[in-house]
Amino acid sequence: MANGLRNFSCGAAVTAAAAVLIGICNYLTRRELSFQLTQANFGLLYGSVALFNLLISILDCGLNNTLTLRLAQFEAQNDRSGGGRILRKVLVFKIVTAPVLALVLWFLAEPLCTGYFHYGAGAKLFRIAVLYCLSWQIAQVSVAALSGLRAFFLMNLVQFSFYFPSLLLLFFFRGQGAAGAVSCFIFGGFAVVPCAALVLVLLLRVRQRSGSGGAGEDTSFRGLFTVGKWFLLGNILLTLLASCDMLVTSGLLGAAAAGVYSIAVAVSMIAAPLTLAANLSLPIIAGSWKRGETGEIRRVVAGTLAVWSVLFWGGALFFMLFSREVIVLLFSEKFSAGAPALAVLGTAALLNPLTLFFYGVLNGVDEQRRANLLLLPGVAANLGAALLLVRSCGIVGAAWGTFAGYLVALLLLERKIRTRVGRPAFPLAVNLVGGLLLGAGGPAALPLALGWRVGVWCVCVLLLTLPAGVFIGKFVLRKRTGYGGKDDPAL
């Protein structure tokens, strides 16, 4: 019964450790690019990547998540013969569709740069950047397969091979101009192709020699797309939740403003290790659900929520107080205008890992349709708030849109999980209200230069809201449902 929790804990620990290295690579890469590119070119590059990620999530048709889910189910039933067939089909689909997407974007470079990014001079850089669509798709399908097989060390090795070579190229080939810098960033990612190919070939040979349990799952394209259609919707919605702010900023404020905002995005990616660890929930939960271990799923959910709560409060307070200092320290003074946006966006970014975790839990317990439909109101809130606030509040409005989107999505996902696997011991709403207060206080606190009023206000919020939420929440849950007491098997 403890296999699910142990596997999730070990996988999360390995992934979090690797994600720290990946996070350092990401930071150093963005820092180097911020020095080698103008603000407009920098904003164009990362605005383009946000656009590419959205289009790739649409073209994926949900197959990456379907691959992870099916491989995890095969492993749980000791049926390993179908894994190779599924992986080969998904790889063929990617190899055919990825170049088509890159080619279409190549020809649309000029109208997109002129009409959308308001930066017609960036067409050449955009054409170089479209090659990202090829390497990123190979990286994603490899990570999906290795995650489904629970080969977490190899999964992280493949991810690292996508990020680290770009950083090396940027350091070794400085002074080559904007085109040279973007080329180093893009072509470094292609190192993932031989690494992923070697790992997958070796791993699949081992699996095929291990025999088959005869589960008889449908491995046809039709069967994959039947499951993938809901993942397709979810991937689009999750991508919009994560990148809607950048897309709206690029379209309404232009590439230069997007360049400043992308620095706030880069710093908020300090939470990236949590995001990568949260992605492990799908294979772990799917295997436990297939074996009928509902109590194990409750323990994973309860433990994850408890750990996340501590990290969320500490992270939200950090971004509120030190957003400007962090931007100046990690990048430079010329990007300090992004500090008010970071104060809000940093808190919002901490909601992303829990959203991915809850989404994976619902998909793992065969609630694909409901999990994806529950993201719709979050995306609507994100897009609506961003469109409404960006024109009046600038990049801070984009950050508030992201916070609103995750807030709505999390509350809806958590409510469905409560009805499916049980109530968490700690009320999620308390965390979200506290994060809302800290996020709102961030832009207001910056002009006060860390005065004593800010410190007193933050301490009051922490001392009053957090303990009150814990005791009141547990009391209400115990009185109404009996859940959350000392005898609760999920604790």
Q: What is the pLDDT of residue 130?
A: 93
Contact 374, 413 (CB under 8 A): yes
Residue 224 maps to a domain = yes
> What's this model's pTM, rounded to 2 decimal places?
0.67
Overall size of the chain counted in residues? 491
Looking at the domain assignment, is residue 489 inside a domain?
Answer: no
313 inside domain? yes
* Domain assignment of residue 344, given as a range: 3-481
Residue 25 lies in a domain: yes
Q: ∠ CA 411-417-418 to the nearest 5 degrees?
A: 90
CA distances from 302 to 266, 354, 400, 420, 490 (A): 30, 12, 28, 14, 7
- Among 27, 266, 18, residue whose Cα is nearest residue 158: 18
Per-residue pLDDT for the chain (491 aa), expressed as one digit of tens each? 455 455 555 555 666 667 777 778 888 888 888 888 888 888 888 888 888 988 888 888 888 878 887 777 776 666 555 666 777 788 888 888 889 999 999 999 999 988 888 888 889 999 999 999 888 888 888 888 887 777 777 777 888 888 888 989 998 888 888 899 999 999 988 888 887 777 777 666 555 544 444 444 556 667 677 767 777 777 788 888 888 888 888 878 877 777 788 888 878 776 666 666 666 666 677 667 767 666 777 777 777 777 777 777 777 777 777 777 788 887 877 777 888 888 888 888 888 888 888 887 887 777 777 888 888 898 898 888 888 888 888 888 888 888 888 888 888 888 888 777 665 544 565 556 655 665 555 555 555 444 444 555 556 556 555 555 555 555 555 555 554 444 444 43
Report the number of distinct structural domains present in the chain: 1
Give Cα separations from 42 to 55, 123, 227, 267 (angstroms): 20, 13, 38, 15
Q: Is residue 487 part of a domain?
A: no
User: How confident is the model at residue 104, as a pLDDT?
Assistant: 94
C-alpha R_g of the chain: 22
Q: Which of 246, 228, 213, 303 is nearest to 67 (CA)?
A: 228
**Cα 74 from Cα 212, distance rounded (Å):** 9
Residue 344 lies in a domain: yes
Does residue 338 lie in a domain region?
A: yes
pLDDT for residue 425:
45
Is residue 488 situated within a structural domain? Answer: no
Torsion (CA) 458, 460, 464, 465 in degrees, nearest 10? -20
- C-beta separation of 76 from 287 below 8 A: yes
455's CB contacts (< 8 A; 6+ apart) are none
Structure tokens at 439: 């996020």
The residue type found at 151 is A
